[in-house]
A and B are shown apart, each in its own frame.
Chain A
Amino acid sequence: MATSKLLVKGFKPPLLDRELTVVGKPLNRRDALEKVTGKAAYSGDIKLPDMLYGKILGCPHPRARIIKIDTRKAEALPGVAAVLTKENTKGWRTYWYKVPQIAFPECITYEGQEVAAVAAEDIPTAQRALDLIDVEYEILTPMLDKEETIASPPWPLIADEEYPGSDVYDRKKYVIKRGDIDKGFEEADVIVEDTYTTQASCHGTIQTRACVTSWDGHNLTVWDAIQGVWNTKETLATSLGLDPDNVRVIVKYLGGGFGSKAWSQRITYYAAKLAMITGRPVRIERSRREEFVNHSRRWDCKMTIKMGAKKDGTLTAIYQTALVNIGAAANEENYYCVQIIWHTSNLHACPNVYLEQVGVYTNLQITGPTRSPLNKPAIFALESHMDKMAVALDMDPLAFRLKNYATDCSISAEFGAYPDAAVSHKETKIPYSSKNLDECMKLATEAIGWKNRSAKRSTRHGTKRRGIGMASYLVFQGIGLMPYAANADVDINHDGTVALRVGVVDIGGGQQTIFSMIAAEELGVSADDVTVVYGDTQGTRYGPSCHASRATPELGPAVLQAAAEARQKLFEIAAPLLKTGVEELRSQNGKIYLASDPSKVMPFREVCNKIDPDHPIRGSGSRAPNPNAPMFSTFGAQAVELEVDTETGLVDILKITAAHDFGKAINPKLCVSQIYGGIGFGIGFALSEEGIYDPRTGKLLSTNLHHYKMPTSLDVPAIHAILTEDEDPYFAYSAKGAGENTNAPTPPAIRNAIYDAIGIWFNDLPITPDKIINALNAKKKKR
Chain B
Amino acid sequence: MALGENRSKEKKRIALCVNGKKVQADVESRITLAEFLREELRLTGTKVGCNRAECGSCTVILDGEPVYSCSMLAVEAAGTEILTIEGLENKTGLHPLQEAFIEHDALQCGYCTPGMLMALKALLDRNPRPEECDIRDAIDGNFCRCGSYPNIINATLDASKKLLKGNRSNHGDK
Given A206-B57, A253-B110, A288-B51, 18 additional A-B pairs, CB 8 A: A28-B103, A32-B102, A36-B107, A36-B117, A38-B86, A206-B143, A207-B109, A254-B109, A257-B109, A287-B51, A288-B50, A288-B52, A508-B110, A673-B108, A680-B144, A710-B143, A714-B140, A719-B150
Contacts of A256 in B (CB 8 A): 109, 111, 145-146
Hey, what's the 0/1 contact readout for B46-69 against A, CB within 8 Å counting as 1?
110111101101000000000000
Contacts of B135 in A (CB 8 A): 713
Contacts of B103 in A (CB 8 A): 28
Q: How far is the CA of A35 from the CA of B88 in the complex (A)?
A: 12
9 A-B interface contacts by CB (under 8 A): A32-B105, A36-B101, A254-B109, A256-B111, A681-B145, A704-B54, A710-B145, A713-B140, A713-B153
Distance (Å) between the CB of A722 and the closest chain B CB? 14
The 5 closest A-B pairs by CB, nearest first: A38-B45, A680-B147, A255-B111, A35-B110, A508-B109
Given A36-B98, A36-B102, A37-B86, A713 contacting B47 (CB threshold 8 A): no
Give the A-B contact count at a CB cut-off of 8 A: 163
Q: How far is the CA of A649 from the CA of B153 in the complex (A)?
A: 27
Hey, what's the 0/1 contact readout for A22-62 against B, CB within 8 Å counting as 1?
00000011011111111111100101000000000000000
Chain B residues within CB distance 8 Å of chain A: 5, 8, 30, 38-39, 42-47, 49-52, 54-55, 57, 84-86, 88-89, 94, 98, 101-103, 105, 107-114, 117, 135-137, 139-153
Distance (Å) between the CB of B64 and the closest chain A CB? 20
Distance (Å) between the CB of B4 and the closest chain A CB? 12
Q: How far is the CA of A509 from the CA of B147 in the complex (A)?
A: 12
A255 touches B54 (CB 8 A): no
Contacts of B143 in A (CB 8 A): 204, 206, 705, 710, 712
B98 touches A37 (CB 8 A): yes
Asked if A706 is at the interface of the complex by the 8 Å CB criterion, the answer is: yes
B149 touches A680 (CB 8 A): yes
Contacts of B30 in A (CB 8 A): 124
Q: How far is the CA of A257 from the CA of B52 in the complex (A)?
A: 21
Contacts of B101 in A (CB 8 A): 32, 36
B150 touches A670 (CB 8 A): no
Contacts of B52 in A (CB 8 A): 288, 704
Given A28-B102, A256-B109, A705 contacting B150 (CB threshold 8 A): no
Contacts of A425 in B (CB 8 A): none
Q: How far is the CA of A656 from the CA of B79 in the complex (A)?
A: 47
Hey, what's the 0/1 contact readout for A175-204 against B, CB within 8 Å counting as 1?
000000000000000000000000000011
A206 touches B55 (CB 8 A): yes
- Complex: chain A residue closest to B115, CB-CB: A206
Hey, what's the 0/1 contact readout for A666-689 against B, CB within 8 Å counting as 1?
000110110011111100000000
Among B94, B105, B139, B147: residue with most chain A CB under 10 A:
B147
Contacts of B144 in A (CB 8 A): 206, 680, 713
Distance (Å) between the CB of B19 and the closest chain A CB? 10
How many interface residues does A have (CB within 8 Å)?
Answer: 57
Distance (Å) between the CB of A663 and the closest chain B CB? 20
Hey, what's the 0/1 contact readout for A700-715 against B, CB within 8 Å counting as 1?
0000111000111110
Distance (Å) between the CB of A716 and the closest chain B CB? 4
- Complex: chain B residue closest to A720, CB-CB: B150
Distance (Å) between the CB of A127 and the closest chain B CB? 12
B94 touches A29 (CB 8 A): no
Given A706-B54, A713-B142, A41 contacting B147 (CB threshold 8 A): no
B47 touches A206 (CB 8 A): yes
A41 touches B44 (CB 8 A): yes
Asked if A208 is at the interface of the complex by the 8 Å CB criterion, the answer is: yes
Distance (Å) between the CB of B35 and the closest chain A CB? 9
Asked if A205 is at the interface of the complex by the 8 Å CB criterion, the answer is: yes
Partner of B46, one of A38, A47, A676, A706: A38
Q: How far is the CA of A683 from the CA of B102 in the complex (A)?
A: 26
Q: How far is the CA of A31 from the CA of B143 in the complex (A)?
A: 20
Distance (Å) between the CB of A100 and the closest chain B CB? 31
Partner of A38, one of B85, B105, B142, B147: B85
A38 touches B44 (CB 8 A): yes
Contacts of A510 in B (CB 8 A): 108
Distance (Å) between the CB of B160 and the closest chain A CB? 16
